[in-house]
Amino acid sequence: MSPERVTDSKSGVRTAGPAVPPLFGGFFAAVQFLTRIPVPAAEYRLDTALGWLPLVGFLLGGVLALADVSLRWLPVPSLLEGTLLVVLLLGLSGALHADGLMDTFDAVFGHASPERRLEIMRDPRAGTFGVVGLVAVVALKIAALDSLPASSRLVLVWLAPCLGRWAIVLLATVFPYGRETGLGAPLKSAATPKILSVASILPLALCLLAGRIGIVTGILAVLAALGLGRWLMRLLPGLTGDCYGAACELVETVVWLGGALVAPRLLA
């Protein structure tokens, strides 16, 4: 489900049902938007979800970490284990961010005007650049997971989904939005420095608790997100929900790749 093809002019995400207290409404809106995990039937506003995205990523990372421990206990070959973890994350998220990645790659790697690129993102058909891009990202994730050192594997498996969803908050706060409407528009409307600060508490704490490898991969995540945002702004009038999804996927990949490449040197 592409962020750009599911729209609601006021709230973004809705289901029929009774009202939910605002404190929990934002959390449930984030869970409903980012995952296929059932939530209580109610009306949720997507603009209340932004600050909760890293927490949902943290919970997804916890599920991956639990699966990782279980698969190693069985035991399962390392390469197969990495593949199962990547597939599990795609399933839990409903491939939402993967779809955004494909739409973004189709748009930005073709020769077109900025306005035409926005139109390409709305096209429900997958193009060559999108397919190749997704295959490349999935392959890199699997290879990186297979290469993570045992001493830092669990923390990085847990950390990457949190940092990936935090990157959405960062990009929504820092960069302009490319459309007047779209499912990412409520996220952009809610993005403020205050929300970014609150949403950064959990990822920052996790990076610090993880020690040197957490700090290094956290810095890589920030650089990757901001670098992607600046590059996309050269090609588009502004970012979109698809761009947010692409950022999430690429930051997860960078965290795992960074861990695979840097961790052995830090832990030597």
Position 220 scores a pLDDT of 96
DSSP alpha helix (H) spans, the chain: 22-34, 53-73, 78-92, 96-108, 114-122, 128-147, 150-174, 185-190, 193-209, 212-233, 241-266
Position 17 scores a pLDDT of 47
For every one of its 268 residues, what pLDDT tens digit does the chain have, with 9 covering 90 and above? 344 333 343 344 444 445 555 567 899 999 999 999 998 888 888 889 999 999 999 999 999 999 999 998 888 898 999 999 999 999 999 999 999 999 999 998 988 788 888 888 887 788 889 999 999 999 999 999 999 988 889 999 999 999 999 999 999 999 999 887 777 889 999 999 999 999 999 999 999 999 999 999 999 999 999 999 999 999 999 999 999 999 999 999 999 999 999 877 776 5
- Tell me how far CA of residue 170 lies from CA of 60, 104, 140, 183, 207, in angstroms: 19, 18, 24, 17, 16
- Tally of residues, the chain: 268
- Give CA–CA dist 115/183, Å, rounded: 18
Buried b (16+ CB within 10 A) or exposed e, 242-251: bbbbbbbbbb
Domain spans of the chain, in order of start: 50-266
- Give CA–CA dist 11/196, Å, rounded: 20
The token duo for 50 is 């932004």
